[in-house]
Amino acid sequence: MRFEDRKLALPDRILMKVEKPARYTGGEPNSVCKEADPVRIRFCMCFPDVYEIGMSHLGLQILYGMMNAWEDVWCERVFSPWQDLDRILREEKIPLFALESQDPLSGFDFIGITLQYEMCYVNILQILDLAGIPLHAAERGENDPIVIGGGPCTYNPEPLADFFDLFYIGEGETRYRELFDLYEEGLPRAEFLHRAAAIEGMYVPSLYKTEYHEDGRLLSMTPVYDDVPVSVKKTLVKELDDCFYPTAPVVPLIQATQDRAVLEVMRGCIRGCRFCQAGQIYKPTRWRSVEKLLEYARELMQNTGYDELSLSSLSTSDYPYLNELLQELIRICSEKKINISLPSLRIDAFSLDVMNKVQDVKKNSLTFAPEAGSQRMRDVINKGITREEILNGAEMAFRGGWNRVKLYFMLGLPGERPEDVAAIAELCNDIAALYYETVPKEQRQGRVNITASSSFFVPKPFTAFQWAPMDRMESFLKKAAYCKESVMKQLNQKSISYHYHDSGTTLIEGVLARGDRRLSTVIETVYRNGGLFDAWTESFSLERWLDAFESCGLDPDFYVFREREKDEFFPWDLIDCGVSKEYLYREWLNAKAGKVTKNCADKCAACGCTSYMCGICISPKGGAA
């Protein structure tokens, strides 16, 4: 099939009515159309948010390119229709369709849904409903697609268990071929799912039964068949140089949230921040070689036309060959007038020197993430950065020409005291004062601007804080008000602005993050009552969620406001992400004691990930340069 031969699912009269019609037409550079023969599997990759956000997701581009490189598979895309088109599709009974072929989703073999953040869960039901696919996995027949979930939220998939046939736990490059080969055997649906459960990383929720204590805590999750594994082990890529990378990604026709070419330099993180789920579930840290990254960079520049190249990882400063890589990238990119973007850098002398060399932008904004205002709280969360390091970084930035600083904090961290909240304002004031001490008056370009923002802490599975209670909404708001009041008392208050996130979405995120499969009924009730795009503040309704909990007979407080016992069985204990529960509990005790744990590069913390025998666990630099 050629793009020009397609018939668009939406006529012009509809496209003219909706915001950004290019969200729904497909046909972008590097997108793929295939002929029916020899395609045997049709897979639709779904991101349950708007096109611009989904198209910024590297994981989607990786799987799209990898699957379409296989002759027998055609991978297409779909995103959540915005509210204007959602209404029209329902009114005119137009089934939701894939971008490439414009065919209805109900005719596909697989619908693969990315679970990137909890507040998109209601949109998953929107996708299935608009496609005419039964919401409940138990109600799907032989002709319905297999609905499979992947992404970070699959590390506790239980709140979505009723809606998915299958969850893929781990990195997508490793097991899809094996899964597709099994599917091509033409097995009945139930038999396919049963046999799929034997593939590493595949979790079939219908093959496990759950039991609960009288007080509502989870008692057990056990397989219903003897040949179904009692736990599901995460699958990962051991050698990043050997796996697929999308050097010809689809280029959106409208501006995406991240409008640039992306070069993933490494996976995992050596830092042991106790609040950070990504730092645990993506262990062990693994690197790509400089040679391979330069090869990818040249191909990305040639195949996309982007004027910016972003180096992606959880902590780019920790890539061991960064200096060598950047020296060559600067040479290549300067020839082609392409800017290099370096997110996730630690603010130190090396990083600032690097940014001076590569960023062709005005030096008016630099980002720090201290996460906590006091050193005591930074030790509790194992942030691994001192007040002196923060101030030294700010001083070097000011001397380098920056005069705007963004600071990110969390409120409601375990063990937080009033003086820790006030310390946020004090740190902001110290940084502002440092500017006036560092930069002579005649060299200043106006007043320094310190923008501080705080999110409210949500304990996540597979972190040291998975046992921790979450602060109540009233406490969050009181702390935010106290922080703002503390800012107003600072000598340099006119140089500081303070903002905080919504507490209602934080509460629901906290429930969904550590919830069990009983929450499926709550999610469906919210959807039936008009919930959609809850990750968007203007669409979110806390009242709708609380009403749904009440009508379903569940108490949200149970999931968020109690400290878990050491040996409590968690809904995600069925999943083996590589780090042991014993290690995480040690870190929980270390947090309570304010004891710092060294990062992976300095000393192994015996987290359990050496079982994968790859990356930093077997080599100090994770591989050859």
Could you give the CA distance from residue 488 to residue 502 in angstroms, rounded to a whole number? 21
pLDDT at 361: 45
What per-residue confidence (pLDDT) applies to 400? 82
φ/ψ (deg, to 5) at 111: -115, 110
Domain parsing of the chain, residue ranges: 3-233, 260-360+607-625, 362-518+554-594
Contacts by 255-258, CB closer than 8 A, 24 or more apart: 255/52, 256/51, 256/52, 256/53, 256/55, 256/56, 257/52, 257/53, 257/55, 257/56, 258/56, 258/310
Q: How large is the greatest C-alpha to C-alpha distance in the chain, in angstroms?
A: 77
First-to-last alpha carbon distance for the chain, in angstroms, is 42
Q: What is the pTM of this model?
A: 0.95
DSSP string, 137-179: GGG--TTSPEEEEESGGGGS-GGGGGG-SEEE-B-TTTTHHHH
In DSSP notation, 568-603 reads PPPTTTTEE-SS-HHHHHHHHHHHHHT-----TTT-
- For residue 508, what is the enclosing H or E element? helix 503-513
* C-alpha to C-alpha distance for 103 and 93, rounded to whole angstroms: 14
Q: What is the total residue count of the chain?
A: 625
Q: How far is CA 501 from CA 465, 476, 562, 578, in A?
A: 20, 10, 23, 32
Distance between CA 542 and CA 441 in Å, rounded? 49
Is 376 in contact with 420 (CB distance < 8 Å)? yes
Closest CA to 263 of 288, 236, 237: 288
DSSP category for residue 247 = S
Cβ 197 vs Cβ 233: under 8 Å: no
* Residue 624, pLDDT score: 42
Splitting the chain (625 residues) into consecutive groups of 10 residues, what average pLDDT does each group show? 82 96 96 94 98 97 98 98 98 98 98 97 98 98 98 98 98 97 98 98 98 97 97 97 97 93 96 96 97 97 94 92 92 88 73 67 70 97 93 88 91 97 97 95 90 96 98 95 97 96 93 98 98 95 98 97 96 97 98 96 94 90 50
Supply the DSSP symbol for 563.
P
At 397, which helix (H) or strand (E)? helix 387-399
- pLDDT of 366 reads 79
**Cα separation, 519 vs 514, whole angstroms:** 10
Specify burial of residue 15 (Cβ count, 10 A radius: 0-12, 13-18, 19+). Answer: middle
Phi, psi of 591 (to 5 degrees): -65, -45
Q: Reduced to 3 states, what is the DSSP secondary structure of residue 150?
A: strand
Distances (CA, A) of 613 to 235, 283, 435, 610, 623: 13, 11, 47, 5, 12
CATH topology of domain 3-233: Rossmann fold (3.40.50)
CB atoms within 10 A of CB 366: 23
pLDDT at 363: 55
Among 522, 542, 554, residue whose Cα is nearest residue 125:
522
Q: Which runs of consecutive H residues, i.e. helices, occur in 55-141?
A: 58-68, 83-92, 121-131
The three-class DSSP label of residue 97 is: strand
- CB neighbour class for 564 (10 Å; exposed up to 12, middle 13-18, buried from 19): middle
Place of tokens 């940084």: 431
What top-level class would CATH report for the domain 260-360+607-625? alpha beta
Closest CA to 44 of 127, 167, 161: 127
What secondary structure letter does DSSP report for 277? S
R_g of the chain computed on alpha carbons: 25
What b/e sequence results for 367-402 when a residue is b if at least 16 CB atoms lie within 10 Å of its CB, and e otherwise?
A: ebebbbbbbebbbbbbbbbebeebeebbbbbbeeeb
